[in-house]
Structure 1
Amino acid sequence: MMAIVTNLDVMLAKRKMKLSELSERVNISMANLSILKSGKARAIRFSTLEAICRELECKPGDILDYEADNN
């Protein structure tokens, strides 16, 4: 199980922004943002992360977190 957790939904709620609005602002499809939001993404481009952070006025650590795998 992947130990990187996404908090995109939390940041969207804090900014009172819908996923569709973020999609338009950063020019990334709703499908790709949904994959990222659900934690199913296997990778993210720095340019994508930068665009999301710019629009949500946050840092990468606000969106991505690490949780130790206790197996």
Structure 2
Amino acid sequence: MTPAEEDEATGIHCRLDELLAERGMTLARLSELVGVSVVNLSILKNDRARAIRYSTLSAICRVLDCEVGELLVRAD
């Protein structure tokens, strides 16, 4: 398995799109409230992130009023 395939095989899906839609919030607004660039949030949203800081995860969950398990789910 190549490194790219290993990255895609994490089995973790980020539900950021769904949570934003449920709350009527844009990625740009979340970026402002969390202090993370739209580009980095987009990488996370599109399941391309290789890592996420706990502080970022915590800030996203605080702003979206959700639990980590609502944001990140197993995609098996």
Same fold (TM over 0.5): yes
Runs of 4 or more consecutive aligned structure 1 residues displaced over 4 Å after TM superposition: none
**3-state SS of the aligned residue for 1:44?**
coil
Structure 1: stretches of 5+ with no match in the other structure: none
The TM-score with structure 1 as length reference comes to 0.92
Structure 2: stretches of 5+ with no match in the other structure: 1-8
**3-state SS of the aligned residue for 1:41?**
coil
Task: Give the aligned partner of residue 5 of structure 1.
Answer: 13
Structure with more contact order per residue of length (Cα contacts < 8 Å, sep ≥ 6): 1
Matched, 1:18 2:41: no
CA RMSD of aligned residues (A): 0.7
Task: Report the alpha carbon displacement of residue 67 of structure 1 after superposing the two structures with TM.
Answer: 2.5
Task: Give the aligned partner of residue 33 of structure 1.
Answer: 41
The TM-score with structure 2 as length reference comes to 0.86
Task: Report the alpha carbon displacement of residue 52 of structure 1 after superposing the two structures with TM.
Answer: 0.2
Matched, 1:58 2:54: no
Count, aligned residues:
68
Tell me the percent identity. Answer: 51
Larger radius of gyration: 2
